[in-house]
């Protein structure tokens, strides 16, 4: 059994993928070819925003968003400590200061009440200029944007949505990553919508910001590509990856539904299991289930039991990013973010992907429960 079975999806659409790659090889426009612009059009339509801009990775998508807002030294950007390192890495890379805010114990996303308190604290201290917020839509579930956006408006902050794990998730009728001022996603192969290498995209309704991001994407070019008007990156999305994503996007709505079925099957069987808490999905939200993550008091025992049965699991994340060695200069101490630290000790992600068979799921559930579970 695999944690994520990418081969099953590839076998389903292999002829379409092969044909898409062949078209790129035939026309030879490997950089900024027509498939890139067609994918951007389809992505924008899918999410419901004016602009989608393909780029080389989810990390570069975040970096482009911050650069578009000219974030730099002396700026404070608020984010969650319970995420992959890239979220805070891009803040630090530009010389700004990541300010971490603890998480909601039910959704694992940034706690809006604590976010408001953290913003007020930094404003009162007066050492940093408050500039922006990067909420993370963890495990495929959007953060609480109806609570976050008013805080941003009150303090004049931008909201850069990190939807690396949540492309296509819904929040009160709207789709991620179209929930902030700017949104980003990753097309890393293991993501819900993944390519066959690195890739990402930036989303916004702001015409001026989109134009600036397109410039930053290609070395800060102006209307004449040899007259650079700002310092930028080389962060373009390869045409072959765009061609692959176009084919995968065609079946993505169905795959989201299949993920929902698998998640519901897990939750129905695990909801009464002692010592296990299933994921909480608030009313009006729909996760795309990048991970199905339970909270368990005896995680090490459960993980060992599954490992003995050749069932893979993962822990996202074993340590909050605020406590990683690279962030030690911020002097965050153990106990500073108690909810995130507790979750790091208790979360366990189980295999989930659109083609996870029912009998595979019940094998996992049986090993978790330590007894036979009926495959009904």
Residue 261 phi, psi dihedral angles, 5° rounding: -60, -45
Distance CA 291, CA 314 (A): 9
* DSSP state letters, 260-291: HHHHHHHHHHHTT-TTEEPPP--TTEE---S-
Q: Which two tokens stand for residue 186?
A: 């990753």
Is 191 one of the annotated active-site residues of the chain?
A: yes
Report the chain's terminal Cα–Cα distance, integer Å: 21
Decide: 116 and 353 in contact? Cβ < 8 Å: no
Decide: 63 and 232 in contact? Cβ < 8 Å: no
Distance CA 159, CA 179 (A): 9
Q: Is 78 helix (H, G, I), strand (E, B) or coil?
A: strand
Distance CA 126, CA 55 (A): 36
- Peptide bond connecting 177 to the previous residue in cis, omega within 30 degrees of 0: yes
Distance CA 294, CA 28 (A): 46
**Spatial CA neighbour of 134 closest among 284, 321, 295:** 321
Please name the residues in contact with 211: beta carbons below 8 A apart, sequence gap of 6 or more: none
Catalytic residue among 114, 172, 175, 191: 191
Distance CA 340, CA 110 (A): 10
Q: Which two tokens stand for residue 16?
A: 């379409």
Q: Which is it for the CA torsion 323, 107, 250, 48, positive or negative?
A: negative
Report, as residue numbers or ranges, the catalytic residues.
191
């Amino acid at each position: 059994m695999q944690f994520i079975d990418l081969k099953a999806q590839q076998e389903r659409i292999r002829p379409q993928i092969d044909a898409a790659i062949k078209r790129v090889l035939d026309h030879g426009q490997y950089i900024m070819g027509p498939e890139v612009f067609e994918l951007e059009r389809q992505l924008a339509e899918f999410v419901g925003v004016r602009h989608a801009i393909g780029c080389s990775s989810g990390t570069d998508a975040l970096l482009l968003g911050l650069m578009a807002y000219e974030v730099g030294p002396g700026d404070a950007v608020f984010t969650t400590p319970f995420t992959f390192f890239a979220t805070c890495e891009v803040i630090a890379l530009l010389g700004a200061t990541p300010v971490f805010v603890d998480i909601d114990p039910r959704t694992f996303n940034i706690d809006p009440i604590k976010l408001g308190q953290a913003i007020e604290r930094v404003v009162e201290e007066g050492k940093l200029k408050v500039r922006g917020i990067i909420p993370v839509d963890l495990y495929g579930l959007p953060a609480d944007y109806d609570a976050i956006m008013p805080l941003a408006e009150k303090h004049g902050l931008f909201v850069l949505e990190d939807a690396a794990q949540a492309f296509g998730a819904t929040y009160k009728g709207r789709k991620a990553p179209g929930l902030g001022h700017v949104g980003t996603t990753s097309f890393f192969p293991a993501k819900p919508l993944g390519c066959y290498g690195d890739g990402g995209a930036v989303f916004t309704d702001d015409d001026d910001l989109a134009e600036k991001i397109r410039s930053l994407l290609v070395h800060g070019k102006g209307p004449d590509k040899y007259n650079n008007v700002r310092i930028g990156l080389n962060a373009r999305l390869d045409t072959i990856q765009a061609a692959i994503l176009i084919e995968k996007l065609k079946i993505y709505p169905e795959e989201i539904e299949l993920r929902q079925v698998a998640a519901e099957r897990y939750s129905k069987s695990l909801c009464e299991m002692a010592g296990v808490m299933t994921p909480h999905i608030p009313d009006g939200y729909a996760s795309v289930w990048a991970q199905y993550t339970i909270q368990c008091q005896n995680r090490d025992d459960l993980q060992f039991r599954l490992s003995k049965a050749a069932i893979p699991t993962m822990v996202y994340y074993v340590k909050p990013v605020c406590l990683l060695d690279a962030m030690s200069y911020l002097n965050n101490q153990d106990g500073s973010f108690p909810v995130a630290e507790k979750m790091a000790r208790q979360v366990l992600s189980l295999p989930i992907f659109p083609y996870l068979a029912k009998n595979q799921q019940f094998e996992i559930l049986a090993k978790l429960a330590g007894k036979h579970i009926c495959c009904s």
